Amino acid sequence: MGKVTVTEHPLIQHKLTLLREASTSSKDFRQLLTEITMLMGYELTRNLPIQDKVIETPMGRTVGKEMAGKKPVIVPVLRAGLGMVDGLLNLIPGARVGHIGLYRDPETLEPVEYYCKLPNEIADREVIIVDPMLATGGSLAAAVNFVKQRGATSVRALCLLAAPEGLEAFQKAHPDVDLYVSCIDEKLDEHAYIVPGLGDAGDRIFGTK
């Protein structure tokens, strides 16, 4: 089963409380989401491989460390996933960014891909899918399916909040994918919104209704 890491750092929990509040403006919401993503990104990247690198300092030769292994690609699930891109790019400025757009077919209720643009050689990359709200788990699972169908073999996912039902469904669908969340909330309501949650993440990021 994929590992679930709940990033319980005090700063993350403090900022998450501010983010959840209905009175928080879109401007502050975006800023807080970026800051939380950076803090969560610290945990997400903790086990990325490194290798030795010989360098010359002004004082002489030494051996430092540099990132090794697969090059990261950040893949936001449109639209709310866009709110988590800057936080990760602040940490990994050289990362590529792919995009996946999904909508739910009103009849079958299945997620349908309407947009997908990924960098080349996806099989040789560490794919980090970002989507703030893991509600039913359906769109995150579909996004992972799409990158796997295009050859990705190493995928991890970063979500701000998860509902227990969605977490379980996602883990069943993708037992090889490690998941990072800042909080596992109480439940889903009858409209598949996370409770207590924060409302519609896309609307709060972009100031739409």
How far is residue 31's CA from residue 15's CA, in Å, rounded to a whole number?
Answer: 10
**Per rule CB under 6 A, is residue 183 in the interface with ligand URA?**
no
Is 197 labelled a binding residue? no
Pairing mode, strands 4-6 and 178-184: parallel
Q: Counting contacts by CB under 6 A, is residue 135 touching ligand URA? A: yes
133 binds ligand URA, rule: CB under 6 A: yes
Is 139 annotated as belonging to a binding site? yes
Window 42 to 81, contacts with ligand URA (CB under 6 A): 80
201 scored as a contact of ligand URA (CB under 6 A): yes
Which of these, 28, 47, 166, 151, lies nearest to 98 by C-alpha position?
Answer: 151
Catalytic residues: 104, 108, 200, 203
Residue 49 CA, chain-centre distance (Å), reads 19
Most distant pair of Cα atoms in the chain: their distance: 68
Q: How far is the CB of 148 from ligand URA (least distance, A)?
A: 23
Helix (H) or strand (E) holding 144: helix 138-149
C-beta separation of 181 from 6 below 8 A: yes
User: Between 34 and 154, whose beta carbon lies closer to ligand URA?
Assistant: 34
Q: Is 194 in the site for ligand URA (CB under 6 A)?
A: yes
Contact between 104 and 156 under an 8 Å Cβ cutoff? The reply is no
193 binds ligand URA (CB under 6 A): yes
Q: In this complex, which beta carbon is closest to ligand URA, that of residue 130 or of residue 133?
A: 133
Q: Any bridge partners for residue 113, and if so which?
A: 102
Does position 19 interact with ligand URA (CB under 6 A)? The reply is no
Does 154 belong to an annotated binding site? no
According to the annotation, is 137 in a ligand binding site? Answer: yes
Rounded to 10°, the helix 26-44/10-20 angle is 150
User: Which residues participate in the annotated binding site for uracil?
Assistant: 194, 199-201
Q: Please report, as ranges, the residues that interact with ligand URA according to CB under 6 A.
A: 80, 133, 135, 193-194, 197, 200-202
